[in-house]
Amino acid sequence: MRAISHNFLRTWVIACTISVLVCGSAFAVSYVKSPPLKNEINTRVGTVSSGPYLKVPVITWGGDIATILANGNSARTKSGSIFDQKGLKIELAREDDFKNQIKAYVKGDTPFLRGTMGMINMAADVLSRDPRTKPVIVYQLTWSNGGDCLVVRSGIKTARDLKGKTIALQAYGPHVDYLAKILGDAGLTLKDVNLKWTKDLTGTDDSPAEALLEKDVDAVMVIIPDGLMLTSDGTVGTGAEGSVKGARIMMSTKTANRIISDVYAVRSDYFDANRDRVKSFVHGLLMATQELKDLFRNKEGRMTAYRATIGSSARILLDSAQATGDAEALFGDCEFVEFRGNVRFFGDTKWPRNMERLAGEIQTSFMAAGLLSAKSAFTHAQWNYDDMRAGLVGIDDVESPRFKKEAVAQVVAKKQAMGTLSEGELFSLEINFKPNQKTFPADLYSDGFHRVVELAATYGGAVITVEGHSDPNKYNKLKKNGATDIVLKRTKQAAKNLSMNRSLAVRNSIIAYAGNASVPLDESQFTVIGHGINQPKYPRPKTKEQWLENMRVVFRIIQIEAESEAFEPLD
């Protein structure tokens, strides 16, 4: 389960709080161990069931609404539905406990796995024991785009500050690779923090949200409704109504929107024997996603169909046909990748967030944390996507910028004027330049440029500031020698102009570097600042090294999730 009603959670927490006040004591969270899954699952490999319906798991996530629509808004394939038109008979079964999914998959109750790339890679040891059960990744549904978040206590400002802290998250859940990536990009690993594992993801006494109520827990990985509750609706927790005083959302997947990837995988033996059937399933999902997005865009004119889909999704995913608001929230928390996203994820070898690279970074992190014993090279279906174009529209349209450049510039300018650029900072890095340098060729700065491209691709919802700094040595000498105010002001402005021009040159070089590597960057994600001599590392440099260190360009990756007007609306 990845999302649940914010109102439900608030009501539940308030009720628990009243109960604690009445009883005079609280129940502590019962933590669990999180050993490698190979030690937890010993199910014997069976033959895939050949009943009249093909069982396919779904989980409580917005991407699965498309699967439900493809099935005719029914748990079993409905006549006239997209899947029915493709000759498929499918029975959908919600299973949010991933260990149960794996057991059913290995036993042969279903040839499908439905989870995040992190969840499936965490099970690599189990899934690779037998060649029949080795997974073939066949389809990417979504990226998490706001549905998951990291909530921290006061005093934790950047990802680097997590070192040595205690973090609670669900064992075998969707957030393990999310946390590993955040730490990795801050130069840390899972071993640099103290992990506490909870049995459940949300809605119980044994969930990460409950863990933050305990004073020895510094941060938690939670779904966004829990994050909003803990932080008094996404501000700063007041301590009332289930919130934790001082708690804030440090980062959600609206910022880190290229980390949690939701996919379908299929057993190798089933895929080899039923390739065309699986291909029909995938094409059906592409068709259904297109239909689903059109329903949301045009729901006023298609209200009957819209209500049917949302109502059935609420019933299947949330156990209540009346939970339509929550089903709509599920949809809003994810970004459907559709045709173009699948082509990129599986086929673009140069894209930093493709399947192979995600699997590699996830498995490396899990091995370092002792959750995985060895790497396994997962395969994908290697579809000929030209065969799947039938019935799809707009798949070759040019991608629109994600940010409104003017709005972003205003947000950054305001932060700069108030001296709060560091607030919301997630990561930073810098490159140095030489005196009078005006160009920044990629061959000299390839390591730094590569790092910026990686961060831009991973944190596509963050703004990247490119901040130029100059050395104040010339200004200091003029001032010491009694230069007039006019000369000093001109010198200061010249330094500011020079640093701005350098920032622009660096940004343009990075975008060109990425383009040459066939990794297009969204220029609207970058904003340039010329600090001039206002923020030197060494206000009065005494050595050549200090003088050179002042001449730098700093890249700051900052989240501006609260500034919703800065984002272009997604379709």
* 396, part of any domain: no
Residue 366, CA atoms < 13 Å, CB-side half-sphere: 32
Q: Do 233 and 562 touch, CB atoms closer than 8 A?
A: no
Query: Is pLDDT of 217 > 80?
Result: yes
Q: Do 548 and 539 touch, CB atoms closer than 8 A?
A: no
Query: Is pLDDT of 24 > 50?
Result: no
CB proximity list for 486: less than 8 A, separation 6 or greater: none
Nearest to 208 by CA among 372, 1, 423: 1
* 571, part of any domain: no
Query: How does residue 417 score in pLDDT terms, banded at 50, 70 and 90?
Result: confident
* 139, part of any domain: yes
Note the pLDDT tens digit of each residue in 490-549.
999 999 999 999 999 999 999 999 999 888 888 899 999 999 999 999 999 889 899 889
Average pLDDT of the chain is: 91
Note the pLDDT tens digit of each residue in 140-189.
999 999 999 999 999 999 999 999 999 999 999 999 999 999 999 999 99
Residue 159 belongs to domain with CATH number: 3.40.190.10
Are residues 136 and 179 located together in one domain of the fold?
Answer: no
Nearest to 140 by CA among 379, 341, 360: 341
pLDDT, position 414: 85
Domain end: 331, 358, 387, which one? 387
Are residues 131 and 158 located together in one domain of the fold?
Answer: no
Q: What is the mean pLDDT of residues 426-439?
A: 87
Query: Is pLDDT of 563 > 90?
Result: no
Coil/strand/helix, residue 88: coil
Are residues 69 and 192 located together in one domain of the fold?
Answer: no
Query: Is pLDDT of 23 > 60?
Result: no
Pairwise CA distance, residues 169 & 192, whole Å:
15
Rounded to 5°, the CA angle 379-260-1 comes to 105
* 36, part of any domain: no
Query: Is pLDDT of 312 > 50?
Result: yes
Range of the domain at 128: 46-143+260-387
User: What's the whole-model pTM score?
Assistant: 0.88
Least confident piece of the model among 240-244, 396-400, 455-459? 396-400
> Domain tally for the chain?
3
User: By CB neighbour count within 10 A (0-12 exposed, 13-18 middle, 19+ buried), where does 546 fall?
Assistant: middle
Note the pLDDT tens digit of each residue in 421-430.
877 788 999 9
Nearest to 100 by CA among 53, 41, 141, 60: 41
Helical (H) or strand (E) element with 428:
strand 425-432
Are residues 223 and 161 located together in one domain of the fold?
Answer: yes
Note the pLDDT tens digit of each residue in 93-105.
999 999 999 999 9
Query: How does residue 402 score in pLDDT terms, banded at 50, 70 and 90?
Result: confident
Are residues 20 and 165 located together in one domain of the fold?
Answer: yes
pLDDT, position 571: 56
Coil/strand/helix, residue 355: helix
Are residues 550 and 427 located together in one domain of the fold?
Answer: yes
Residue 505 belongs to domain with CATH number: 3.30.1330.60
* 536, part of any domain: yes
Q: Do 485 and 553 touch, CB atoms closer than 8 A?
A: no
Domain end: 221, 252, 283, which one? 252
Are residues 462 and 514 located together in one domain of the fold?
Answer: yes
Are residues 314 and 371 located together in one domain of the fold?
Answer: yes
pLDDT, position 570: 54
Torsion sign, CA atoms 105, 67, 400, 259: negative
Note the pLDDT tens digit of each residue in 344-387.
999 999 999 999 999 999 999 999 888 999 999 999 999 999 99
Q: Do 222 and 247 touch, CB atoms closer than 8 A?
A: no
Query: Is pLDDT of 552 > 60?
Result: yes
Are residues 352 and 474 located together in one domain of the fold?
Answer: no
pLDDT, position 569: 60
Are residues 215 and 325 located together in one domain of the fold?
Answer: no
Are residues 138 and 177 located together in one domain of the fold?
Answer: no
Query: Is pLDDT of 9 > 60?
Result: no
Domain end: 218, 252, 286, which one? 252
Are residues 151 and 139 located together in one domain of the fold?
Answer: no
